Amino acid sequence: GESGKSTVLKQMRIIHNSGFSQEESMTKRNVVCANTVQAMGALVEGMRSLRIDFSNRLCNAHEKMIRETLSENTEYNPFTDEMFTALTDLWADKGVQSAYEKRELFYLHDSAK
């Protein structure tokens, strides 16, 4: 499952070889972007199922951006400044942190943090 074997192998490759090609680096970056947006989407869903509210009202608009990005399947695109701000604000929100602490009550991928 999610034991991190492929991550260790990739890190070994970076340390002992020349690392990744530019194309591989872009692909990996896009996967990291997608995983981050998907994890935040799962956290927000978890918040809703647990009836936890945002502490920062701006996060309601950020949640909408995350949901739209996921519904449009554009989470593999590199982060815009707006997406970076949304993710940063959401992660700092006390409601999101509360949901993260209760993550055993809903599905959240092991690498979400």
pLDDT recorded at residue 61: 97
Angle, vertex CA 82, rays to CA 78 and CA 86, nearest 5: 100
Quick one: pLDDT at residue 62? 97
Strand, coil or helix: 56: coil
Domain count, the chain: 1
User: Is 72 contained in some domain?
Assistant: yes
* pLDDT at residue 16, rounded to an integer: 60
Q: Is 71 annotated as a binding residue?
A: no
Let me know the angle formed at the C-alpha of 88 by 65 and 36, rounded to the nearest 5 degrees. Answer: 70
The annotation status of 41 as a binding-site residue, yes or no, is no
> What is the Cα–Cα distance from 110 to 32, expressed in whole angstroms?
14
Rounded CA gap, 17 and 47, in Å?
42
Confirm whether 113 is domain-assigned.
no
What's the whole-model pTM score? Answer: 0.73
Query: Per the annotation, does 68 bind a ligand?
Result: no
The b-or-e profile of 18-57 (16+ CB within 10 A means b, else e) is: eeeeeeeeeeeeeeebbebbbbbbbbbbbbeeeebebeee
The whole-number pLDDT of residue 89 equals 96
The rounded average pLDDT for each run of 10 residues, N- to C-terminus, in the chain (113 residues) is 60 62 78 88 92 96 96 86 94 94 73 56
Residue 48 is part of a domain; what is its CATH number?
1.10.400.10
Q: Is 85 annotated as a binding residue?
A: no
Angle, in degrees to the nearest 10, between helices 22-49 and 58-71: 120
**Host domain of residue 71:** 5-105
